[in-house]
Chain A
Amino acid sequence: MAYSPSRRTLSRRALLRGAGGIVIGLPLLEAMLPRHTRGADPGPPQRFLVWMSVNGTVVERWICPPTASVGELQLSEILAPLERHKADMVGVQNLRCPAGYAHAYPSNLTGQAQVDIGYPLIYGTGHSLDQHIAKQWAGRTPIPSLQLGVQVDSKDRDTSACVSWSEEPHPDQGIANQAAERDQAPPTRGLPAENNPFAVFTRLFTDGTSNAIDNAKRAFSMRRSMLDGVLDQVPALNQRLGRADRAIVENYFDSVRAIEAQITALDAASAACVAPMLGADPTAADATTPWWMEQAHVTDVLKLHGELIAAVFACDLTRVVVLTVAGSGGSSRMPPADLLPANDMGDWHGVSHAIGTDKDKQARDGLAAIDSWYYDKLAVLLDSLKSVPEPTGGTLLTNSLVMSTNEYGPNGDVPALGLVGSNNSHMCKLMPILLFGQAAGALETGRWVTTPMVNVEQAEGQHINRLYVSILNALGIPDQQFGDPGADQGPLEGVFG
Chain B
Amino acid sequence: MNARRSEHGAPDARESEARPSAVPTGGGPDASTGGAASGVCDTQPSLGPTPLRRLTRVEYRNTVADLFDIAAPSSADLPDDAADSQGFTTTTSQPISPEGALKYFEVATTVGENLLAKLPALFPCADGQTEDECTRELLASTGTKIFRRPLTEHEQDHFATVFAKARADEATVDEAVLTVLQTMLVSPQFLFIMEPSQASASEPTKLDSWQVATRLSYLLWQTTPDAVLLDAASRDELVTKSAVAAQTARMLDSPRAKAAVAAFFDQWLMLRDIEKVQKDPDIFPDVTEPVVAALTRESRTFVEDLFWNHDGSLGRLFISPSRVRDATLSEFYGDSLSEADDAELVEDVVTERSFGLFSQAGFLMAISKNDDHSAIFRGKLVHSRLFCKPIFLPPPGVATPLPAIEPGVTGRERIEMHTGSGVCVGCHGQFNPFGYALEHFDATGRWRETEGELAIDTAAEVVSSDLGPFDGARDLSSKLANSEQVHECAVSQMFQYAMRREITSDDACGLASLNRIFLDSEQSMKELLVAITQSDAFFARIEPKE
Contacts and interface: CB of A to CB of B under 8 A. Distances in A.
Contacts of A277: none
A38 interface: no
A284 interface: no
A233 B183 CA distance: 11
A240 interface: yes
Interface of A: 1, 3, 5, 7, 9-11, 13-14, 33-35, 218-219, 221-223, 225-230, 232-233, 236-237, 240-245, 247-249, 251-253, 255-256, 258-259, 262
Contacts of A249: 52, 188, 192
30 contacts: A9-B116, A10-B175, A11-B113, A33-B102, A34-B99, A218-B175, A222-B171, A225-B162, A226-B182, A226-B183, A226-B186, A227-B105, A228-B165, A229-B179, A229-B180, A229-B183, A229-B186, A236-B154, A237-B189, A242-B201, A242-B543, A243-B546, A244-B543, A244-B544, A249-B188, A251-B96, A252-B101, A255-B97, A255-B98, A262-B102
Interface in B128-185: 154-155, 158-159, 162, 165-166, 169-172, 174-175, 178-180, 182-183
A247 B546 contact: yes
B288 to A, nearest CB: 37
Contacts of A230: 183, 186-188
A5 B172 contact: yes
A489 B199 CA distance: 76
A490 to B, nearest CB: 42
B109 interface: yes
Nearest to A258: B98
B95 interface: yes
Contacts of B320: none
Nearest to B93: A248
Contacts of B171: 218, 221-222
Given A10-B112, A34-B98, A255-B101, 8 more contacts: A7-B174, A10-B113, A13-B113, A35-B99, A219-B109, A226-B108, A253-B188, A255-B100
B188 A3 contact: no
A1 B105 CA distance: 26
Nearest to A251: B95
A3 B172 contact: yes
Nearest to B100: A255
B345 interface: no
Contacts of A232: 158
A249 B188 CA distance: 7
A242 B197 contact: yes
A225 B95 contact: no
A68 to B, nearest CB: 49
Contacts of A229: 158-159, 162, 179-180, 183, 186-187
Contacts of A222: 109, 112, 166, 171, 175, 178-179, 182
A281 to B, nearest CB: 29
Contacts of A33: 102
A18 B520 CA distance: 66
A247 B108 CA distance: 24
B198 interface: yes
Interface in B238-288: none
B98 to A, nearest CB: 4
Contacts of A34: 98-99, 102
A252 B191 contact: yes
B99 A244 contact: no
A7 B52 contact: no
B546 A244 contact: yes
Nearest to B119: A7
**Size class of the contact patch on chain B:** 35 or more
Contacts of A228: 162, 165
A30 to B, nearest CB: 13
Interface in B401-441: none
Contacts of A218: 171, 175
A242 B101 contact: no
B51 interface: yes
A245 B205 CA distance: 15
B235 interface: no
Contacts of B175: 10, 218, 222
Contacts of A241: 197-198
A252 B109 contact: no
Contacts of B165: 225, 228
Contacts of B101: 252, 255-256, 258-259
User: Which of A11, A227, A242: most chain B CB closer than 10 A?
Assistant: A242
A244 B187 contact: no
Contacts of B546: 243-244, 247
Nearest to A254: B98
Nearest to A229: B183
A225 B169 contact: yes
B428 to A, nearest CB: 38
Given A10-B113, A259-B105, A236 B98 contact: no
Given A1-B170, A226-B186, A259-B101, A240 B197 contact: yes
A237 B188 contact: yes
Contacts of A9: 113, 116
B283 to A, nearest CB: 38
B506 to A, nearest CB: 15
A34 B102 CA distance: 10
A228 B545 CA distance: 31
Contacts of B112: 10, 222
Closest 9 CB pairs of A and B: A229-B183, A258-B98, A255-B101, A244-B546, A242-B198, A244-B544, A245-B52, A255-B98, A242-B197
A335 to B, nearest CB: 45
Nearest to B183: A229
Interface in B103-126: 103, 105, 108-109, 112-113, 116
B99 A223 contact: no
Contacts of A243: 546
A233 B162 CA distance: 11
A254 B472 CA distance: 55
Contacts of B198: 240-242, 245
A85 B186 CA distance: 48
Contacts of A240: 197-198
Contacts of B159: 229
Interface string B192-206: 101001110100000
A189 B42 CA distance: 88
Contacts of B178: 10, 222
Contacts of B98: 34, 255, 258-259, 262
Nearest to B200: A242
A408 B529 CA distance: 86
Contacts of A253: 188
Nearest to B187: A230
Contacts of A3: 170, 172
Contacts of A233: 155, 158, 187-188
